[in-house]
Amino acid sequence: VAERPAASLVEHRRGRVRWLASGLLESAGVRHGFTTRAGGASRGAFAGLNFSSREGDLPERVRENWRRIESAAGLPPHSWALLSQVHGARVEVVAAGAAACHHRRGHAEADAMVTGRPGVVLGVLTADCLPVVIAVPGAGAVGIAHAGWRGTVQGVGAAAVRELCALAGASPRDLVAALGPAIGACCYQVGEEVRAAFRARWGARAVARVFTGRGPWSLDLQEANRLQLLGAGLRERSIESVPLCTACRRDLFYSYRRDGRRSGRMLTFCTTADGG
Ligand SMILES: [Zn+2]
């Protein structure tokens, strides 16, 4: 059994805004982050640093939250590439960024993006689903995926790896990956139809590794995506998971499972832009 690296979570703080990062990716020079609720302008059900107004938050507060993370993390404005996330496995190749957009209309329908264009910031929004950041260190090529159970079973992470390798002329063994905060197996009970979907596409052995219980089943989304990245050719030591459950940590994260429809969204970003 190959050894798994100890997670090296990094916490960034600028004023009241706090975001997390993978120590593994930072030491490889990959600029990225996973936001927390801390330091946001939103109130009520959306209290904190919420990046979507589609669930009912006030657009001006959400715009202010985008401004705050750009300022705190030193991200260039008008450089964002965002998606209309649809729980599939399509990967968008991004050529240019634009101003941050709080409502997520008019974006490409996809659940992953890759880019080799300097200065572009890729962003996905989540509230339990798993954000996956991948990069080719030193090559100025990054990718990001949004993986709920549907995207995971369809292989969105592996699809992003293939596109990034094609774009950068890299091998999967050159890539590093971080699996961000997501709902943990502790809180993610799913029905038989979810397990059946995995069994049909992944086989019984993989199912035994990512589901526990006897119906309802508990799904370990991070482990499912870690196995998928290993299957795509990444090295074990090049993958790091942030060991925090979005549903358990109300203080840090929004959770759709815990809070229902009126809940905020965290932002995961990664960028080819130079540090600012
Ligand atoms: Zn939990």
- DSSP summary character for residue 7: P
Over residues 236-252, the pLDDT tens digits come to 999 999 999 999 999 99
Query: Is pLDDT at 223 greater than 50 in this prediction?
Result: yes
Over residues 23-75, the pLDDT tens digits come to 999 999 999 999 999 999 999 999 999 999 999 999 999 999 999 999 999 99
Kindly give the distance from the C-alpha atom of residue 11 to the centroid of ligand 1, in angstroms, as a whole number. 20
- For 10-31, what is the mean pLDDT? 97
Kindly give the distance from the C-alpha atom of residue 169 to the centroid of ligand 1, in angstroms, as a whole number. 38
User: What b/e string do you get for 19-40 counting C-beta neighbours within 10 Å, with b at 16 or more?
Assistant: bbbbebbbebebbbbbbbbbbb
CA 146 – CA 113 distance, rounded (Å): 9
Kindly give the distance from the C-alpha atom of residue 244 to the centroid of ligand 1, in angstroms, as a whole number. 8
Kindly give the distance from the C-alpha atom of residue 222 to the centroid of ligand 1, in angstroms, as a whole number. 12
Kindly give the distance from the C-alpha atom of residue 259 to the centroid of ligand 1, in angstroms, as a whole number. 13
Kindly give the distance from the C-alpha atom of residue 162 to the centroid of ligand 1, in angstroms, as a whole number. 31
Query: Is pLDDT at 92 greater than 90 in this prediction?
Result: yes
Position 126 scores a pLDDT of 97
Amino acid at 230: L
Kindly give the distance from the C-alpha atom of residue 188 to the centroid of ligand 1, in angstroms, as a whole number. 7
Amino acid at 49: L
Amino acid at 42: S
CA 113 – CA 74 distance, rounded (Å): 21
pTM: 0.95
Q: And the tokens for 250?
A: 């109300």
Kindly give the distance from the C-alpha atom of residue 8 to the centroid of ligand 1, in angstroms, as a whole number. 20
Name the average pLDDT for the chain.
94
CB 135 within 8 A of CB 269: no
Give CA 35 to chain center in angstroms. 10
Kindly give the distance from the C-alpha atom of residue 118 to the centroid of ligand 1, in angstroms, as a whole number. 37
Query: Is pLDDT at 112 greater than 70 in this prediction?
Result: yes
Kindly give the distance from the C-alpha atom of residue 247 to the centroid of ligand 1, in angstroms, as a whole number. 5
Kindly give the distance from the C-alpha atom of residue 185 to the centroid of ligand 1, in angstroms, as a whole number. 7
H/E run at residue 218: strand 217-219
